[in-house]
Amino acid sequence: MVFLGRKVAVFVDGCFWHSCPVHATTPTANREWWVAKLQRNEQRDRHTDEHLGALGWTVLRFWEHEDPGAAVDVIELAVRRAPCR
């Protein structure tokens, strides 16, 4: 989700695909391939966060298991605090 006028980008990361510290699992079949794939996903996420941050964006990330209402509260606060561009 993107709030262009406020430069706020919101990501909801899946626990499997983004290696949630609480729920991450690694398949046993073809394990080496999956470990490398999931590490690349994490690296891409960090790169994206850094790149957007360097461009003046506020980046918010939530896990799929997080309470949606709590996430909305954080998003609303960030959007309200961000300068309108």
Q: What class is the 2-81 domain?
A: alpha beta
Instruction: For residue range 45-80, list pLDDT tens digits in order.
Output: 999 999 999 999 999 999 999 999 999 999 999 999
Cα separation of 73 and 22, whole Å?
22
Cα separation of 14 and 23, whole Å?
10
Cα separation of 78 and 82, whole Å?
6
Domain definitions of the chain by residue range? 2-81
Q: Output the pTM of the full model.
A: 0.91
